[in-house]
Structure 1
Amino acid sequence: MSHKTQLHALTAAVAAAASTCAWALEPQSIRLGDSLNFSPSLQVTESYDDNIRAVETGELSSWVTRISPAFALGADGHKASYQVQYRADSDTFHSSHLDDNTDHHLTAKTAFNFNVRNHLTFDIGYHRVELLDSENSDHQSQNDKYNTIDAGALYSFGAPRARGQIDFGVRHQRLRYENTQHINDDLEREFTQANTIFYYRLAPRTRALIEARYTDFNYVSNDLRNSSEIALLGGLAWEATAKTTGAIKIGSQKKHFEESSVGNMSGSMWEIGIDWKPRTYSTVSLTTRQAIDENYQSGIGASAVESTLVKLGWKHGWTNRLSSETSYSYIKRKYQDYDRDDRFDIATLDLTYELRRWLDVSLGLKYIQKDSTRARESYERSIVGLTVAASL
């Protein structure tokens, strides 16, 4: 039974907890032609995780070796740009080699600037991921194994300094699991989203905005979760005004289920991201979000989840070579039609030293505490890791 499949951005910090250090390098490119560049890089992390399965009792600790090769292939033209990126994350669990796995991430993006008023971008990605799952006393546990195909397009009309601008976006995602014994089959789905954002310039660097979104969820075998959503948001977006950059969106969200036996949902929604730079070498960031999300928990009757995220971060350059990044995240998840509330507290600290232009060494610390109203769903987890990142 799956216990920790978290695909949404709200819980990405938990799903990626085994990685303690950030990817910091900007690789130098190899020119393969007049406009074609190739950028390889490599990251190696050795970490100690005292609870690799994120369980309340019977914790298993392990040293974990992660090797992450990556490359980017890009081309820039007069009115168009193209980029393909690939990254593999190979994890070796020295106390549990049956859990060794390799994740694959392949993405491509192209952008067209037809003229000063018309811009179009396309992107597509394929991700094949395996997440360690908690033990279950009733039957043999399986790790969550899934793949996603995600594609989107965005058309923007309006000159950069025009009074008004408008964006039209569309996105489609397909999620499929690779577990045996039909585990996680009830989570397989596709969603399609369309949105429109209208911007109105209030000042040279400040714009008011109104956004409308429509999302359709279609599950392969779990018809009770088929639904559609409508969200209306308004707010502000600004750039480098009084040392801050950010966007604020506040509004409401409504979720309608196809099955009449499942109650519809509605509530307030917000998405806020603000960066404050008191110094050129120091940045304080605030990110917060509240929304109705899909339930990514297999085998339970929750129709959806009310999610709240608050994250506070601080990046600081102590010297030309030494920098730090700290953060604290609070995540709350309230399950609908199911008696369960979860809370996550996540604290991180990363120190990075630039040995050479092409070589960084980082020390990362991460602490995760989950409190749940359901039995056997709470846990604590600490991870410490040393990362070497290299490029050309």
Structure 2
Amino acid sequence: MKRSHTPSALVLVAALGTIAGTANAVDPMPVNQDGPVDFIPTLKVSQGYDDNIEEAPDDKKSSNVTKVAPTFLLRAQERANRYQLRYTPTFQRYSHDSDDNRVNHFATATSRLTLNARNRVNLGLNARRNQATLSDTNRDFDESEGDINERYTLDGTYTFGARGAKGQIELDGSYVWNRYSNNLVGGSNNRSEEYDSPRAGATFLWRVAPRTQLLIEGRYADFDYTWSGSDLNSTNLSALVGARWQATAKTSGSVRVGQEDKDFDDAGKEDTDVTRWQAQVNWRPAPHSRVRLNTANSLEEGSQTESTSSGENTIEQTTYGLSWDYDWDGQVSSNVAYRFRDKDYIGGGSDGRNDELHTVSVGVSYSFRRWLDFGVETRFKDNDSSLDGANYDRNTYFLTATLSL
């Protein structure tokens, strides 16, 4: 198969050193802005270059890439209640090989209901179908395409207590259907990762200052695997304490810390517990400058081969992120971001494996018209794994145009 070469325009992009994550300045106009329901279509077109489309450690395959991502948004408001339906298909075309072409889908429906001053309800349903890049497991078993994950989530949150009340209670629940549409038998054995997961949580908030609330939170998640050969059925319980605050108009954030326990139904599997945390700090040193810091640590689900001798029971995942958005003037804005993800594999044949992924992204956006933005996006990824076949680096460079009515 023939490899693509980097076009001269993209060489210039690389020299400029700009990358993904820009904030669009497009101000879309609804099709029927005087109607009861707003319909807002937008379109993002990206043309670029990917130097390692399969995230392979060796024998890298590069390609020119075209992405077309229309977004269709329906929104309505009735008094204080808000409703929204959004659908975004993403078409990706690779000049290297048409077999790599794909279409990913993401749809979400949400409603925010204010019943009265003390009672509020948020409801949501989202669905996604995403084809991942080839993984080390796909390559080990000569699978021709990355795993296609289909995930559906139904969730709701009920809040009791006025917005400025001394105390508030938040109750939330959700149900997750996790499925795959390829690589199900043998090789990746993706049927081992299909599960149903009911979840629930409760948070009590206590206002200790006009802009600060302390919180106590409990969370429950059950994982019921559909494959008869799986022994990963388990229950996760978490208890956390923390705070939310908006100290000034410039600074806001939240922090939670506690413990998460995973108890397996199979007595032969060792239960796991980790320190769980989640924190986010937003800082706006000037009206045109925004900084965000976030970090989290929690348990992720494992996987199994058909013999159950490989795979992992669970994964402890730690993330750190830092981003900076800056508006240079009324037309030009930029974004710089860094993300670090650390994955420790626990149990099974992968016990002791560690992956450290570093991602740096930068972008520049130019607002040419109210309805049209041009941008430059690049992203640099480097994965350092204790498994030789999982080490890789990947760089992408894109020119973008975002259009609306």
With structure 2 as the length reference, what TM-score do the two structures score?
A: 0.88
- Establish whether residue 317 from structure 1 lines up as the match of residue 366 from structure 2: no
The aligned residue for residue 157 of structure 1 is 160
The aligned residue for residue 43 of structure 1 is 44
| Distance change (3 Å), C-alpha of 1:259 and 1:137 | closer
CA distance in 2, matches of 1:151, 1:201: 30
Greater Cα shift, 29-38 or 355-364:
29-38
The amino acid across from 1:244 in the alignment is T
The aligned residue for residue 105 of structure 2 is 104
Q: Deviations over 1:160-187 (max 9, x none)?
A: 1110111100011101111155241111
- Establish whether residue 229 from structure 1 lines up as the match of residue 236 from structure 2: yes
Equivalent positions of 1:236-251 (< 5 A) are: 236-241=243-248, 243-251=250-258
CA distance in 1, matches of 2:303, 2:41: 34
CA distance in 2, matches of 1:119, 1:188: 33
| Distance change (3 Å), C-alpha of 1:21 and 1:280 | closer
State which of 315, 318, 333 in structure 2 corresponds to 1:308. 318
The aligned residue for residue 11 of structure 2 is none
| Distance change (3 Å), C-alpha of 1:320 and 1:111 | same
The aligned residue for residue 200 of structure 2 is 194
Q: 3-state SS of the aligned residue for 2:231?
A: helix
Q: 3-state SS of the aligned residue for 1:224?
A: coil
8 A contact 1:219–1:225 mirrored in 2: yes
8 A contact 1:21–1:385 mirrored in 2: no
- Establish whether residue 147 from structure 1 lines up as the match of residue 150 from structure 2: yes
The aligned residue for residue 3 of structure 2 is none
8 A contact 2:41–2:404 mirrored in 1: yes
Q: 3-state SS of the aligned residue for 2:390?
A: coil
Q: Percent identity?
A: 29
CA distance in 1, matches of 2:207, 2:163: 10
8 A contact 2:21–2:361 mirrored in 1: no
CA distance in 2, matches of 1:350, 1:236: 33
CA distance in 2, matches of 1:136, 1:268: 34
State which of 221, 230, 246 in structure 2 corresponds to 1:215. 221
Gaps of 5+ in 1: 1-18
Shift of the alpha carbon at 1:223?
3.0
The amino acid across from 1:92 in the alignment is R
| Distance change (3 Å), C-alpha of 1:314 and 1:32 | closer
Gaps of 5+ in 2: 1-18
| Distance change (3 Å), C-alpha of 1:35 and 1:358 | same
Q: 3-state SS of the aligned residue for 2:99?
A: helix
CA distance in 1, matches of 2:62, 2:217: 46
| Distance change (3 Å), C-alpha of 1:80 and 1:168 | same
Paired positions, count: 374
Q: Deviations over 1:278-315 (max 9, x none)?
A: 11111111100111221268774310011111111111
The aligned residue for residue 302 of structure 2 is 295
- Establish whether residue 131 from structure 1 lines up as the match of residue 129 from structure 2: no
The amino acid across from 2:248 in the alignment is T
State which of 375, 378, 385 in structure 2 corresponds to 1:362. 375
The aligned residue for residue 81 of structure 1 is 82
